[in-house]
Amino acid sequence: MFVDRLIENIILKKNHSVVGLDPRINFVPKYIRKNYETSKKGECEAILEFNKIIIDNIKDIVACVKPQIAFYESYGIDGLNTFVKTIEYAKQNGLSIIADIKRGDIGSTAEAYAKAYFEGGFVDVDSVTLNPYLGIDSIKPFLNYCDDKKGVFILDKTSNKSSKDIQDLKVDDKYLYEIVGKYINEWGEANKGRYGYSNVGAVVGATYPREMKVLREIMKSSYILVPGYGAQGGTAKDIIDCFNEDGLGAVINSSRGIIAAHTKEENSKYGEKDFGICIREAAIEMRDSINKELEINNKLAW
Amino acid sequence: MFVDRLIENIILKKNHSVVGLDPRINFVPKYIRKNYETSKKGECEAILEFNKIIIDNIKDIVACVKPQIAFYESYGIDGLNTFVKTIEYAKQNGLSIIADIKRGDIGSTAEAYAKAYFEGGFVDVDSVTLNPYLGIDSIKPFLNYCDDKKGVFILDKTSNKSSKDIQDLKVDDKYLYEIVGKYINEWGEANKGRYGYSNVGAVVGATYPREMKVLREIMKSSYILVPGYGAQGGTAKDIIDCFNEDGLGAVINSSRGIIAAHTKEENSKYGEKDFGICIREAAIEMRDSINKELEINNKLAW
């Protein structure tokens, strides 16, 4: 089961965080960049080296990485090659993968996407993010893989400010995100693993702690992927309610907060070539902040 | 303006239809397939040749093509190369492009996607399809290009059966798709062209004629991309209300109905190498059916 492997990896590393691999060229130290041509292709090669150094520095402490395809796609074919190679390298190093692709399309098209991501047509990953706007037709082709090896995280209440435009609309006495939460819970009922969690997870932003509390109740057995920690403003206190009483049930993502840690003023003490250590320290700090908050709330899973 | 160029192309060719370039290997005639290796790469090369022959056969009668990226992505990098080359060939042949990518993500990520599709980071297209679930943040980076050269089509009421799961939820006395329609109309207000249409369009399925009628009223100046014609069950009668009184305002997509026309029993009269003629005939038939229905309803734009 996808979710069991994810949880085992989390427990092994005592770490609920996910590192978002959303690289931008200005995060890549100059000493790496100068080894490559100043072309699109060269930048993609530099980004791949950057990603590999990040992975080398976090693989023993982090369970999961989440590459966001947009940042690779903006470089075209070369970037997409880097996306694939980054995922392969992360897998070789024992990391669980969430491919952040947010796909959502009619059934026959969703089948093509499932083939791309769950059968290795494009790249073979453990899990993907999906958009629920088209309803169950668009999710089902992925669920066919979720009885065993694969998992999905379906957008519910997203971390951005304007998530309210649609997600907070009131349907009778419920918010739309509550209804989507009920769907997600229902879609996952059939595929639960040994820890009681299903392979059908949800995305709920760290920036909405109040909504999180409600959604945690609605989707007791869904793993929640929580973006918006760090750079987007969410703190350890904000995400405490995304965990169940067993101290499980959520993975917390930080992208820029980790992979651009070395570009922060306060981290100028690190030499350019020590950026990997700086990133590792940021990942440790995030892990410890979350675990400390869990401990205070009697929710440590180990 | 994107929408003006699209309309001029439609009027020039007297054709409101869009050909969906969603190829599958079994649509490609054997005489083409046997020129290429029986590998993923070979299949992608065969698909590119197939697409080019389709484009050669429809370019003088059709205004617009809509490649659906999923069918290319399922082949990985080779498929995505075919996606790019297909779009380039279609542009060289005077066709407007709708890249059917249905992206929807937080602002910084949406910017990366806009760079990919509207600045040629990946491929430079006239317009893309977007998913509104994350609200205006996810649309805005694209709107920044819609004051002039580019356009978007935002999912509203999609053609699939389970579009009801979320899109038909009732918010006070309105359906969710009506609220999304109001947003789309509003987001397009600032960017209207000389025919009175905006660069911010909508996607409404041919399979929902009743909802179409309501949405046409809400989004008077949005161009509506209408999938679901043909293979998904929509007929010329079903799509008449997606046009305004000026006989404009909608493009009707058919994918399998056109690009797999030669695989139908009833078209076995065409020789294998005449598949392009068969596809052309199917495109002409679709054009004429729609125009006939428009004429009956006094809605011919020319």
> Which band of pLDDT confidence, cut at 50, 70 and 90, is reported for residue B284?
very high
**Full 3-state SS string of chain B:** CHHHHHHHHHHHHCCCEEEEECCCHHHCCHHHHCCCCCCHHHHHHHHHHHHHHHHHHHCCCCCEEEEEHHHHHCCCHHHHHHHHHHHHHHHHCCCEEEEEEEECCCHHHHHHHHHHHHCCCCCCCCEEEECCCCCHHHHHHHHCCCCCCCEEEEEEECCCHHHHHHHCCEECCEEHHHHHHHHHHHHHCCCECCCCCEEEEEEECCCCHHHHHHHHHHCCCEEEEECCEHHHCECCHHHHHHCCCCCCCEEEEECHHHHCHHHCHHHCCCCHHHHHHHHHHHHHHHHHHHHHHHHHCCCCCC
**Contact state of A171 with B169 under an 8 Å Cβ cutoff:** yes
Contact present, B132 and B200 (Cβ < 8 Å): no
Q: What is the pLDDT, as a whole number, of residue B31?
A: 97
Residues 6+ apart with CB under 8 A from A19: A54, A58, A62, A64, A65, A66, A253, A254, A255, A258, A259, A283
Q: What is the pLDDT, as a whole number, of residue B161?
A: 96
Please name each of the domains of chain A with its CATH number. 2-295 (3.20.20.70)
Q: What is the pLDDT, as a whole number, of residue A168?
A: 98
Section B79-94 average pLDDT:
98
Rounded to 5 degrees, φ, ψ at B274 are: -95, 15
Section B86-96 average pLDDT:
98
Averaged pLDDT, groups of 10, chain A, 302 residues long = 96 98 97 95 98 98 98 98 98 98 97 98 98 97 93 97 98 97 95 95 96 97 94 84 97 96 95 96 97 96 94
Q: What is the pLDDT, as a whole number, of residue A37?
A: 93
Q: What is the pLDDT, as a whole number, of residue B125?
A: 98
Q: What is the pLDDT, as a whole number, of residue A63?
A: 97
Whether B232 has a pLDDT exceeding 80, the answer reads: no
0.80 exceeded by pTM = yes
Contact with chain B for residue A113, Cβ under 8 A: yes
Stretch 41-80 of chain A: residues touching chain B, C-beta under 8 Å:
68, 70-71, 73-77, 79-80
Within 8 A of B44 by CB-CB distance, chain A residues are none
Residue A30 is among the residues annotated as catalytic for this protein: no
| Nearest CA among B18, B1, B10 for reference residue B150 | B1
- Percent of chain B at pLDDT > 90 equals 95
Q: What is the pLDDT, as a whole number, of residue B164?
A: 98
User: How does the average pLDDT of chain A come out, rounded?
Assistant: 96
- How many CB pairs lie under 8 A apart between chains A and B? 187
Q: What is the pLDDT, as a whole number, of residue A233?
A: 79
Q: What is the pLDDT, as a whole number, of residue B234?
A: 80
Contact with chain A for residue B129, Cβ under 8 A: no
Q: What is the pLDDT, as a whole number, of residue A141?
A: 97
Taking CA–CA distances from B109, the nearest residue in chain A reads A70
Selected for mutation to probe chain A from B25, B41, B66, B74 (highest A CB count within 10 Å) is: B74
Backbone torsion region of residue B14, taken as left when φ is above 0, otherwise alpha when ψ lies between -120 and 50, otherwise beta: left
Distance between CA atoms of B18 and A10, rounded to whole angstroms? Answer: 48
**Contact state of B77 with A81 under an 8 Å Cβ cutoff:** yes
**Contact state of B133 with A155 under an 8 Å Cβ cutoff:** yes
Q: What is the pLDDT, as a whole number, of residue B147?
A: 85
Q: What is the pLDDT, as a whole number, of residue A235?
A: 87
Whether B108 has a pLDDT exceeding 90, the answer reads: yes
Selected for mutation to probe chain B from A84, A113, A134, A186 (highest B CB count within 10 Å) is: A134
Q: What is the pLDDT, as a whole number, of residue A300?
A: 95
Q: What is the pLDDT, as a whole number, of residue A148?
A: 83
Selected for mutation to probe chain B from A25, A84, A105, A173 (highest B CB count within 10 Å) is: A105
Distance between CA atoms of A133 and A161, rounded to whole angstroms? Answer: 18
> Which band of pLDDT confidence, cut at 50, 70 and 90, is reported for residue B199?
very high
**In terms of DSSP bridges, do strands B174-175 and B170-171 run parallel, antiparallel, or are they unpaired?**
antiparallel
